[in-house]
Amino acid sequence: MSGEFHKIRRLPPYVFEQVNRRKAELRANGADIIDLGMGNPDMPAPPHVIAKLAETAANPNVHGYSASRGIPGLRRALVEYYQRRFDVKLDKNREVIVTLGSKEGFANLAQAITAPGDVILAPDPSYPLHHFGFIMAGASIRAIPAPTP
């Protein structure tokens, strides 16, 4: 075994790792960096969110696995949000699924709908997972340049 995995070798360099490496180099040389990177939270969650999290975590009835599609009330709330915000009507039982996050959901979607040898059209530039999830599923990517303003 070579120590490298076939699927990992197929992945392009991770853009955020390259950006983080360059930021570290610049900061080490005294540069003042304004980070407009991944958008990770840079402030603590509001106190009422932390309190609700602690309250919920203390409830022994919520320690099991969620329903495979997600909590019905949350799916219903998502349907209501899409209707209110985007005027899009969704069926909570057929068109909504709750995931741990958008990256996890997108990666699982790629695995579910992609067969080895498929060719996927993806915008360029795009978020890395738009390519990585499908590459990991065995597809080839054909980048479609996004129009520039």
19 pLDDT band, cuts 50/70/90, is confident
- Rounded CA-CA distance 8/16 in Å is 16
145 and 109: one domain? yes
State how far the Cα of 103 lies from the Cα of 109, in Å rounded to an integer. 10
For 61-107, write each residue's pLDDT tens digit.
888 887 778 888 999 999 999 999 999 999 999 999 888 888 888 88
Q: Are residues 113 and 145 in the same domain?
A: yes
Same domain, residue pair 106 and 145: yes
Ramachandran category for residue 25: left, alpha or beta (phi over 0 → left; psi -120 to 50 → alpha): alpha
- Report the 10 Å Cβ neighbour count for 75: 20
Kindly report the average pLDDT of the chain as a whole number: 87
Model pLDDT, residue 37: 67
Answer yes or no: do 75 and 114 share one domain.
Answer: no
Q: Select the more confidently predicted residue: 47 or 69.
A: 47
**Could you tell me if 135 and 113 lie in one domain?**
yes
In this structure, the answer to whether residues 105 and 135 fall within a common structural domain is: yes
Structural domain that includes position 93: 66-98
Same domain, 115 and 131: yes
- The answer to whether position 110 is within a domain reads yes
Q: Based on the fold, state whether residues 106 and 140 are members of the same structural domain.
A: yes
- How many Å apart are CA 126 and CA 106, to the nearest integer? 13
Q: Do 105 and 90 share a structural domain?
A: no
Report the domain count for the chain: 2
Asked, for residue 32, whether it belongs to a domain, the answer is no
Q: 2, 114 in Cβ contact below 8 A?
A: no
84 and 107 both lie in a single domain: no
C-alpha closest to that of 142 among 115, 123, 116: 123
Decide if 16 is inside a domain: no
Do both 133 and 88 map to the same domain? no
Domain boundary among 98, 120, 138: 98
* Same domain, residue pair 112 and 142: yes
The whole-number average pLDDT for the span 120-125 is 89
